[in-house]
């Protein structure tokens, strides 16, 4: 069993412009690449809620094309993302895959032999922090994206200014 890091995409790795799906709008956040490189000894997954699909703001194809661009850019920096898990549903659909529900982490746990108790969730929203708690992972709130708005309502294990600071904390606290 191995430890993993489950990371929200929009607002944590990439700029969150609201329903990001146009390749021309894609931009990595400062220090995202450096932070991800520090996590090279972990299996890294993206876990993202994409209600814009369910709301009809963009198509599944547009999501896949945008995400493919994100993964290609990360690959240029020798960063491997094991898998992207995405929820295409609206919040009111009450599906089983929308964060903070743990479906995707449980799937990864089985498929990739992940030890969730030794794993981490990083994100900029309350749902990311709650996902970590619900799956018995350590949770980190980053102050990028919506993090500054979320800080009062989330109770993470650690608050980081960005993905780089989150990664440093993970490396320091791995196996503790």
Q: Is the pLDDT of residue 176 over 70?
A: no
CA distance linking residue 80 with residue 160, whole number of Å: 22
**Domain at 108, CATH number:** 3.40.50.1000
Q: Is the pLDDT of residue 45 over 90?
A: yes
Q: Collapse the DSSP code of 16 into the 3-class scheme (helix H, G, I; strand E, B; otherwise coil) and give the result.
A: coil
Residues 39-54: what's their mean pLDDT?
96
State yes or no: is 115 an active-site residue: no
Find residue 122's DSSP bridge partners.
Answer: 7, 140
User: pLDDT averaged over the chain?
Assistant: 95
Q: What is the pTM of this model?
A: 0.96
CB-CB contact of 166 with 33 (8 Å): no
List Cα–Cα distances, 119 to 2, 23, 67, 85, 176, in angstroms.
8, 31, 23, 16, 11
Report the number of distinct structural domains present in the chain. 1
Res 111: pLDDT: 97
Digit-coded pLDDT (tens) for 112-169: 999 999 999 999 999 999 999 999 999 999 999 888 888 888 899 999 999 999 999 9
State yes or no: is 146 an active-site residue: no
Res 154: pLDDT: 85
Phi, psi of 114 (to 5 degrees): -95, 140
Q: How confident is the model at residue 175 (pLDDT cuts 50, 70, 90)?
A: low
Domain that includes residue 14, residue range: 4-173
Among the listed residues 8, 16, 124, 162, the single catalytic one is 8
Q: Is the pLDDT of residue 25 over 60?
A: yes
Digit-coded pLDDT (tens) for 60-118: 999 999 999 999 999 999 999 999 999 999 999 999 999 999 999 999 999 999 999 99
As given in the structure block, the two tokens for residue 72 are: 């290609």
Q: How confident is the model at residue 36 (pLDDT cuts 50, 70, 90)?
A: very high
Among the listed residues 10, 124, 128, 146, the single catalytic one is 10
């Amino acid at each position: 069993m191995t430890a993993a890091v489950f990371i929200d995409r929009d607002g944590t790795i990439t700029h969150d412009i609201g329903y990001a799906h146009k390749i021309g709008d894609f931009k990595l956040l400062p220090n995202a690449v450096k932070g991800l490189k520090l996590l090279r000894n972990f299996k890294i997954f993206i876990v993202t809620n994409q209600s814009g699909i369910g709301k009809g703001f963009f198509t599944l194809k547009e999501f896949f094309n945008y995400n493919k661009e994100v993964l290609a850019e990360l690959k240029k920096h020798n960063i491997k993302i094991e898998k992207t898990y995405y929820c295409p549903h609206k919040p009111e659909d009450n599906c089983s895959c929308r964060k903070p529900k743990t479906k995707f982490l449980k799937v990864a746990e089985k498929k990739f032999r992940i030890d969730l108790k030794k794993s981490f969730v990083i994100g900029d929203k309350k749902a990311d922090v709650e996902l970590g708690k619900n799956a018995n992972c350590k949770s980190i709130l980053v102050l990028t994206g919506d993090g500054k708005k979320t800080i009062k309502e989330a109770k993470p294990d650690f608050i980081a200014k960005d993905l780089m600071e989150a990664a440093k904390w993970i490396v320091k606290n791995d196996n503790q």
